[in-house]
Structure 1
Amino acid sequence: MHQTPKPPGRDRVAVVGRAGALRAALTRAACARGGGERGSYTLEAVLCLTVLVPILGILAAFGLAGLGDSTAANAAAAAARAASASDDPDTAQARGRQAALKSLGQAQRTCTSSDISIDTSGFPSQPGEAGTVTVRVDCTIPLAKLAVPGLPGSKTLTATRHSAVDRYVARAGEGDGQ
């Protein structure tokens, strides 16, 4: 007696279908007994939190560092502009410091401490001479509040900016005669 072969796909579909139904029945039975999946969500939540919390703390630290860096850079740029528009080195020091403090004051919560250094040694003594003013601002940001293991308690960020002194501004000590 000769039998016609069955297409191979039908048997496999039936077996896979029965396996899926068997798996679903076993899962329902395990859940009905109170076993199987009990406690796995708690374990997953604990594992995820122990990984996510430090990652979020590190992201917050990067955000604080970026904010502190831009605060220091803005204060240094404002101080350099103000100092370079001055008539003499002493006035440049005072105006630059005032501009930096004003800029740092607008971002009060970013820097816990700061240091402002203004170099007017390149300030020209006569009109027509080229000169520059250099300002360095150090901004210390707090990282201890984030409570992330491995991070230091604080980080000091430094920004340095240069500004050309206007060549044609009358300098202090010059007479009105030409």
Structure 2
Amino acid sequence: MSTIKYRQGGVISAAQRQFSRAARWMRRTADRGDAVLQTVILTPAILLLLGVIIVGGTVALAHQKVQHAAMEGARAASIARPAIYASQPAARTAVERDMIAKGLVCTSTDVSIDTTSLGFDPGIPAFVRVTVRCDIELSVLGIPLIGGHRTITASAISPADTYRERVR
């Protein structure tokens, strides 16, 4: 058996040298393929998380648009003249125009307008409340496994001028 002298001063046999080469080769290749396996396992989880973030952002933006439409409708109803007759159509028109301008597509929309306080005598504080309900379709996002619809409801109140003319 041949022996080889190493720098440290020790002497090892050829069999020990072959074993140490094999051990080094095993240590070097033991982690091979781990990155591919980790990628295969983590990719669906990351894509699902990304889909949830996109859906959450879409719903949050839609809620902001519905809230803005409700505020626009309440404002339009509170400044409409004559108040008791023109406020309802003005509010509906303002809500529809705002939703179209913002690019919000609803499968169904419901606008309810409360103008009962506009019938009070001048000098008594009055307000208009507008509630907008919008159903959005989540399947239009094109994300697999995520579909259905979400109902978004927003309400806004706008004060009417306390001393303005009111018709009964």
Place the TM-score, normalised by the shorter chain, in its bin.
Answer: 0.7 to 0.9
The CA RMSD measured in Å over matched residues stands at 2.7
Distance in 1, matches of 2:109 and 2:51, equals 24
The structural deviation recorded for 1:153 is 0.4
Q: Say which SS state the counterpart of residue 92 (structure 2) adopts.
A: helix
The structural deviation recorded for 1:142 is 2.0
1:23-102 pair list within 5 angstroms: 25-26=24-25, 30=29, 36-86=30-80, 87-102=82-97
Q: In 2, are the aligned partners of 1:57 and 1:146 still within 8 Å (CA)?
A: no
2:100 alignment partner, one of 105, 109, 113: 105
Q: Say which SS state the counterpart of residue 102 (structure 1) adopts.
A: helix
Q: Say which SS state the counterpart of residue 117 (structure 2) adopts.
A: coil
The structural deviation recorded for 1:141 is 2.0
Structure 1 unaligned residues grouped into runs of 5+: 1-21, 31-35, 174-178
- What is the identity percentage for the equivalent residue pairs of Structure 1 and Structure 2? 30
The structural deviation recorded for 1:50 is 1.1
Given the two structures, how large is their TM-score scaled by the length of structure 1? Answer: 0.70
Q: Say which SS state the counterpart of residue 122 (structure 1) adopts.
A: helix
Q: In 1, are the aligned partners of 2:62 and 2:104 still within 8 Å (CA)?
A: no
2:121 alignment partner, one of 126, 129, 133: 126
Given the two structures, how large is their TM-score scaled by the length of structure 2? Answer: 0.74
Partner of 1:158: 153
Q: In 1, are the aligned partners of 2:84 and 2:166 still within 8 Å (CA)?
A: no
Distance in 2, matches of 1:54 and 1:23, equals 42
Alpha carbons of structure 1 residues 137 and 29: separation in structure 2 relative to 1, 3 Å: closer
The structure carrying a bigger strand percent of its residues is: 2
Q: Say which SS state the counterpart of residue 109 (structure 2) adopts.
A: strand
The letter of the residue matching 1:141 is I
Structure 2 unaligned residues grouped into runs of 5+: 1-20
Alpha carbons of structure 1 residues 79 and 58: separation in structure 2 relative to 1, 3 Å: same
The structural deviation recorded for 1:49 is 1.1
Distance in 2, matches of 1:72 and 1:54, equals 27
